[in-house]
Amino acid sequence: MTKGNLAVGDKVRIQGKTTNFAQTIRSMQIESVDVRCARRGQLIGLKVERAAKAGDKLIRLR
């Protein structure tokens, strides 16, 4: 993400060359520790419902 914050419960779209799906964030980690929110610029691990690839974009939906 390049703008804003991200939190468990937010709806996001993961989009790439062959990837395009939306989901609600149910689990997120920073350095293997569960977190409820993350700020812009932090590296996070995100549990996804479908396969995602390196380079796919994460877009927070309103």
* Residue 34 in domain: yes
pLDDT on residue 2: 66
Range of the domain at 43: 6-60
Which CATH number covers residue 21? 2.40.30.10
Residue 49 lies in a domain: yes
Residue 1 placed within a domain: no
DSSP one-letter string for 21-52: EEEE---EEETTEE-SEE-TT---EE--SS--
* Domain annotation covers residue 37: yes
pLDDT string in tens for the chain (62-residue length) = 667 899 999 999 999 999 999 999 999 999 999 999 999 889 999 999 999 999 999 999 98
State how many domains the chain has: 1
